[in-house]
Amino acid sequence: MGAALVLVGWDTERAATGPMPPQPRSAQKLEVGSDTPHMLTLYIGLLDVDFDIIDAPGFAVHLRTMAGRFELVART
């Protein structure tokens, strides 16, 4: 998979409970590396923040597949 460049939205409320120091809501570029798209999904998911993909060829397709799986489970 390599690396993905994503834009993450740090949220003051979430940051206060996590490893990031509290700060006003802002967007920052973050480069995340991974061997597989599955691990990249996990890494970004663990941040528990809103994000946009800036540059990661094919990663959006993987995210749509994973989102569909989660959607099915969430309905039960």
- Average confidence (pLDDT) over 48-70: 87
Could you list the beta-strand ranges (E) of the chain.
Answer: 2-10, 26-34, 50-55
Q: Taking every pair of C-alpha atoms in the chain, what is the biggest distance, in angstroms?
A: 36
Q: What percent of the chain has pLDDT over 70?
A: 74
Give the per-residue pLDDT at 50. Answer: 82
With the CA atoms of 61, 53, 8 and 33 taken in that order, what torsion angle do they form, in degrees rounded to the nearest 10? 80
**Alpha carbon distance 62, 29 (integer Å):** 20
Q: How confident is the model at residue 68 (pLDDT cuts 50, 70, 90)?
A: very high
pLDDT score recorded for residue 11: 57
Distance, in Å, from the CA atom of 22 to the CA atom of 13, rounded to the nearest integer, reads: 7
Please tell me which residue, 63 or 5, carries the higher pLDDT value. 63
